[in-house]
C-alpha cells in the first residue's frame, strides 16, 4: 500500500544537500566549502507544475541540475519516476558542434535508432524556427537561439519531468509565447510534471500550481502558488527597501551561515559577494 501511495509522486527529495568549494586568491591550503543546498525535502505529485522562487545565489539552478541528473548531490536521497530533461541556455549543448550534430549526439547517447533521431530532428526543425542556423556551430548562436534549440530538443524527447531554468528569459517574445503555449498543453493535456524557474512572478503565478521558495540554500516554503508568491514578494520588497550598506551586511550574514569548515575573512566575503 505504501509503494502505491509513493508512486503518485513524480519526484521525492529527502534531506538533499550539495556542497561547493570556493577558490581562494591567497591559495590557502585550507579550502572554503559552503552549502549550495542543505537538507532539501519535498514530494511532488505527477502532473504538478512547480514554480521555484529565490533570489540570485539562493540555490535554484543547483537544484535544477540535481533534479535533471546532471549534477550529483552530496547527501540525502532523491527518486525521480520517469525520464527528466533540463531546459536551460547552453546546458547539454556542445558549442563546437552544429545544431544538427547536437541532436544526433543526444539521440545516440540515449540509444535512439536513426529513425527516432530523424523524428526528433524534424520536430526541432518545425518548432525551433532556426532555418539554416541549425547547420551552423552552436558557438555562433545568440543566447536566444541556444534557448530555442535546447527547448525544442527537450520537447521532442518528450520526458516525463521537465525542468525549465530561465529558458524563456532570452530571445524574442513571440517565441517565448509559443513555448509557454506548448508548456500549457503539456500541463493541461499531457499532465507532465514541470519545475519552472523564473524571476517573473506574474509568469510563475499564471502558469504554476505549487510554489517552492529556496533561499540561502534552504527550503523556506512550499505550498499554494499564490501564498508562496505573496510571501516571497514581501521578502524581496523588504530587501529592496534596505540601504546599500544594509544589503551588504544582510547578504554577508546570510552567506556566512552557509560556510562549513572555517570562519571566513571579511575581505574574502566581500569579494565573493561583490
DSSP one-letter code for 135: G
pLDDT band, residue 135 (cuts 50/70/90): very high
> 168 falls in which pLDDT band (50, 70, 90)?
low
* Cα gap 85→171, rounded to integer Å: 21
pLDDT per position as a tens digit, 81-105:
998 888 876 567 888 999 999 999 8
Q: pLDDT (tens digit, 9 = 90+) per residue, 42-86?
A: 999 999 999 999 999 999 999 999 999 889 999 999 999 998 888
Burial class (CB in 10 A: 0-12, 13-18, 19+), 253: exposed
pLDDT score of 227 more than 90: yes
Find, among 31, 34, 36, 44, the residue nearest to 16 by Cα: 36
| Mean pLDDT for the stretch of residues 117-132 | 90
3-state secondary structure of 42: strand
Cell of 134: 541549425
Q: Tell me what the pLDDT averaged over the chain comes to.
A: 86
Give this prediction's pTM: 0.85
**H or E segment at 87?**
strand 84-87
Confidence of residue 151 (pLDDT cuts 50, 70, 90): confident
Residues 65, 60: Cα–Cα separation, whole Å: 9
List Cβ neighbours of 250 (8 Å cut-off, separation of 6 or more). 239, 242
- Among the listed residues 85, 87, 177, the one whose alpha carbon sits nearest the alpha carbon of residue 129: 177
Q: Say if CB 51 and CB 75 are below 8 A apart.
A: no
Question: Pairing mode, if any, of strands 9-22 and 75-80?
Answer: antiparallel
Euclidean distance between CA atoms 187 and 190, whole angstroms: 6
Amino acid at each position: 500500500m505504501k509503494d502505491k501511495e509513493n508512486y503518485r509522486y513524480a519526484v521525492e527529495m529527502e534531506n538533499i544537500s550539495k556542497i561547493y568549494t570556493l577558490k581562494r586568491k591567497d591559495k590557502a591550503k585550507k579550502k572554503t566549502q559552503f552549502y549550495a543546498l542543505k537538507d532539501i525535502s519535498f514530494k511532488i505529485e505527477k502532473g504538478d507544475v512547480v514554480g521555484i522562487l529565490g533570489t540570485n545565489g539562493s540555490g535554484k539552478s543547483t537544484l535544477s541540475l540535481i533534479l535533471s541528473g546532471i549534477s550529483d548531490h552530496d547527501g540525502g536521497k532523491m527518486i525521480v519516476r520517469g525520464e527528466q530533461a533540463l531546459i536551460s541556455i547552453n546546458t547539454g549543448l556542445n558549442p563546437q558542434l552544429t545544431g544538427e550534430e547536437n541532436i544526433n549526439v543526444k539521440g545516440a547517447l540515449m540509444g535512439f535508432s536513426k529513425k527516432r533521431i530523424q523524428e526528433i530532428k524534424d520536430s526541432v526543425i518545425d518548432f525551433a524556427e532556426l532555418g539554416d542556423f541549425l547547420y551552423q556551430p552552436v558557438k555562433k548562436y545568440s543566447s536566444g537561439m541556444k534557448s530555442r534549440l535546447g527547448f525544442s530538443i527537450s520537447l521532442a524527447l518528450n520526458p516525463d519531468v521537465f525542468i525549465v531554468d530561465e529558458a524563456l528569459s532570452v530571445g524574442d517574445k513571440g517565441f517565448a509565447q509559443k513555448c509557454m503555449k506548448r508548456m500549457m498543453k503539456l500541463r493541461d493535456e499531457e499532465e507532465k510534471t514541470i519545475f519552472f524557474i523564473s524571476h517573473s512572478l506574474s509568469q510563475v503565478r499564471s502558469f504554476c500550481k505549487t510554489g517552492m521558495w529556496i533561499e540561502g540554500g534552504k527550503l523556506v516554503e512550499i505550498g499554494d502558488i499564490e501564498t508562496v508568491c505573496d510571501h516571497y514578494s514581501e521578502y524581496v520588497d523588504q530587501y529592496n527597501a534596505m540601504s546599500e550598506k544594509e544589503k551588504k551586511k544582510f547578504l554577508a550574514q546570510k552567506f556566512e551561515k552557509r560556510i562549513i569548515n572555517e570562519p571566513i575573512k571579511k575581505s574574502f566575503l566581500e569579494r565573493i559577494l561583490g
